Chain A
Amino acid sequence: MPSWFETRRSLIVSLADLQSGFIAHLRAPAAPPPDSLVASGGTPPNRRFNVYRNNVVASLIEALRASFPVVERLVGEEFFKATARAYIDHEPPKSPLMFLYGETFGAFLDAFPPAASVPYLGDVARLEFARLTAFHAVDKAPITIDHLSRLPQDQLGETEFQLHPSLTLLASRWPLFSLWAASSGEQSGEEVNLDNAEEVIVVRPHYDVDTRRLPGGGDSFIKALAEGLSLGEAAGLATAASEQFDLAQHLNGLFDLGAVTAVDIAHS
């Protein structure tokens, strides 16, 4: 039996206090190990306690690297790790599900002064988180555009759409799709013009996550459909948002992407 089992102190410390103390010291990098730990040779077990500090931070940094590979490629590994460390300190995860961690990473990057020279980084993070969310989203079979032609053609304007549960829209003031694609290996060699704003759709109809740049008016159109507005209302909003809006092109594109799971004439 090792001697440290016999080391008893006079005061019984509650489990709650032991754990609160452990975490308080864990989260303060400059703090010594908590008093509740056995010291050996009269010195606090600094390096031993640091194993836990390192494990927590390193495993969370790895989780963020796995979820935000394009952000890392845009800023480099060293900068990414320092940024991730600051984010982890600012907002540790609340769930044991690591694919839920990082929902606010985009907002954090928007306001993170060292990243100010890369102002589109937050949008790229939001796009990557949308892709992660789509990857794990509930399965649902998409329908083809034939379903639309089977509805009474004189009432098409009143059609309501159910869109795929994995779908996310991102309207960026930056060329978000181009920036992401140029660094994700999906597309390369294209010159990115930072003056172009781009709208992006993320959807996972089957098992592969699809990420596309939307043609003009796409964000207004799909957002309106997602909110339950009719096809006629959505087309009206999209035309108001963009002169280039082309209803046939958008409808075909939406079905081709597998982003529609049901269509029905509104009964209201």
Chain B
Amino acid sequence: MDNSAKISPVIPKRAGVGLKAAHYDRILQDRPDIGWFEVHAENYMGAGGLPHRTLETIRQSYPLSLHGVGLSIGGDKPLDLAHLARLRDLNQRYEPGLFSEHLAWSTHDDFFFNDLLPVPYTQEALTRCSDHIDQVQESLGRQMLLENPSTYVAFAESSMSEIEFLKTLTARTGCGLLLDVNNVFVSATNHDYSPEDYIDAFPIEHVGEIHLGGHARDQDDHGAPLLIDAHDRAVADPVWALYERTIARTGNLPTLIEWDNELPDWQELFAEAQSADAILVRNQTEPDRVAR
């Protein structure tokens, strides 16, 4: 177990970025003025070596958020207890300020499909998700944040809206929410509803973190726009606008720039974080429009 001194785990209401191995050297050398880092938990589930050594060094100087991508909370099957134990170990070792996972599933019949598959918004799925979230929060001994998904299809079986589904989960489990503003824009475009209405209806009192990322553009069978949550480019302008609308409601929140594919050099990623910070600074100087 690591006993090295760490700075406070509290994630500041500033911008952070997803930590990538390709940027390790530059970050360790520059020690950039950035609020915090987020890691995909699964990348640090090996026993030892360079990933842990680097993360320990970074954790000494920066707050850290732990973001799981493989727990399959929306899966019908029971959670993988070995995976849950690995999350608990990482949580103890690195003392992250936030822990989050997705409203999605990825495991079925013992196979892991490495994507965030869509959950039908049914009573049965609600029960299963809330049981799984209870189990995670009990095992880790902390609150988790659940992230709203990017979706490309809808289930005929769904009996409630995504927002109703998420709201009910927070009420049943006490979990918080991670509001991915790019996901809102992607899903709203794909299902032809207003992203602004979605943001305005979102239970902001439960939001503990915001994600921003880039999306790709395609078309569906009818030529309608089909956006894909690719995390392979800069944040799009309408997503920045939606972000400003969001924090005008929520007040400033920890905001992550996600860039996982077609990685830019460090300077470009850092510049995205600085853009988010600039919006946060501007927002802070304006009077709160909503009481927190």
Contacts and interface: CB of A to CB of B under 8 A. Distances in A.
Interface of A: 1-2, 4-5, 7-9, 12-16, 18-20, 22-23, 26, 33, 35-38, 40-41, 43-49, 51-52, 55-56, 59-60, 62-63, 92-99, 135-139, 204, 207
A94 B71 CA distance: 13
Task: List the 4 shortest-distance A-B pairs measured between CB atoms, nearest first.
Answer: A96-B70, A136-B46, A139-B48, A138-B47
B42 A96 contact: yes
A12 B157 contact: yes
Given A59-B115, A137-B47, A8 B222 contact: no
Nearest to B71: A96
Nearest to A49: B153
Given A19-B76, A20-B108, A207-B50, A96 B69 contact: yes
Contacts of A99: 46
Contact of B120 (A36, A96, A138): A36
B159 to A, nearest CB: 7
Interface in B108-164: 108-115, 117-118, 120, 122, 124-125, 128, 152-161
Nearest to A14: B124
Contact of B112 (A2, A4, A45, A92): A92
Contact of B220 (A7, A12, A48, A55): A48
A38 B53 CA distance: 47
Contact of A23 (B42, B108, B158): B108
18 contacts: A2-B191, A2-B192, A5-B158, A9-B156, A15-B120, A26-B113, A37-B153, A38-B156, A44-B221, A51-B218, A51-B226, A52-B115, A52-B152, A96-B72, A96-B80, A97-B70, A136-B48, A207-B50
A36 B155 contact: yes
Given A15-B120, A37-B154, A94-B112, A43 B222 contact: yes
Say whether chain B's binding surface is mostly helix, strand, loop, or mixed: loop
Interface string B189-220: 01111000000000000000000000000111
Contacts of A15: 76, 120, 122, 124-125, 128
A14 B155 CA distance: 12
A62 B71 CA distance: 20
Contact of B157 (A9, A55, A96, A135): A9
Among A36, A60, A138, the one with the most B-chain Cβ atoms within 10 Å of its Cβ is: A36
Given A5-B161, A23-B113, A135 B50 contact: yes
Contact of A18 (B69, B107, B114, B120): B120
B160 A5 contact: yes
Contacts of B228: 51
Given A2-B193, A36-B120, A93 B45 contact: no
Contacts of A207: 49-50, 53
Contacts of B45: 97
B111 A92 contact: yes
Interface in B24-81: 42, 45-53, 69-72, 75-76, 80
B23 interface: no
Contacts of A51: 152, 218, 226, 228
Contacts of A1: 161, 193
A135 B226 CA distance: 39
Contacts of A38: 153-156
A36 B124 contact: no
A95 B114 CA distance: 9
Given A7-B156, A43-B221, 7 more contacts: A9-B156, A13-B157, A19-B76, A19-B108, A20-B108, A47-B219, A59-B115
Contact of B226 (A9, A47, A93, A137): A47
B118 to A, nearest CB: 8
